[in-house]
């Protein structure tokens, strides 16, 4: 199992969306994504590992075409990360020690 696959957190909860119609295939999102969620495909990109996305928003902020959208900082990934950092955050219910 590769490293990213071992870091998946919950299935089918990520808000990441991709619009291939507006993507120019510039590759910027591939450079800024910290989780290898995206990969090249036929001159554009595709979402290869959706459940590894931590909804950080880097791809959305850096895409010059607005082809990627994600609700950064509001999802379950954010809640888990806030908990790991000792911050209070809305709980997604996945962890009994959530700090809500
Ligand atoms: S940054 Fe935007 S336009 Fe560039 S490859 Fe990624 S999705 Fe496509
Ligand atoms: S939100 Fe962050 S982790 Fe998810 S695809 Fe975009 S850059 Fe990668």
Which tokens belong to 77? 């990934």
pTM of the complete model? 0.74
> Is residue 30 domain-resident?
yes
Range of the domain at 14: 3-72
Number of separate domains in the chain: 1
**pLDDT tens, position by position, 21-50:** 999 999 999 999 999 999 999 999 999 999
Which tokens belong to 7? 């870091």
Between the alpha carbon of residue 59 and those of residues 55, 72, 80, 83, the distances in Å are 9, 10, 20, 23
> Is residue 92 domain-resident?
no
- Give the whole-angstrom CA distance, residue 54 versus residue 31: 15
Instruction: Name the pLDDT band for 89 (thresholds 50, 70, 90).
Output: low
Output the CA 96–ligand 2 centroid distance in Å: 26
> Is residue 55 domain-resident?
yes
Alpha helices in the chain (DSSP H): 28-32, 58-62, 76-84
> Is residue 43 domain-resident?
yes
Output the CA 62–ligand 2 centroid distance in Å: 11
The CATH number of the domain where 60 resides is what? 3.30.70.20
């Amino acid at each position: 199992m590769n490293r990213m696959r071992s870091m998946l957190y919950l299935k089918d909860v990520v808000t990441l969306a991709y619009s291939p119609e507006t993507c120019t295939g510039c590759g910027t999102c591939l450079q800024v994504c910290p989780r290898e969620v995206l990969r090249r495909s036929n001159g554009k990109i595709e979402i290869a590992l959706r459940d590894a996305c931590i909804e950080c928003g880097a791809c959305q902020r850096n895409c010059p075409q607005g082809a990627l959208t994600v609700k950064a900082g509001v999802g379950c990934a954010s809640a888990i990360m806030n908990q790991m950092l000792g911050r209070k955050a809305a709980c997604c219910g996945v962890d009994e020690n959530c700090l809500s």
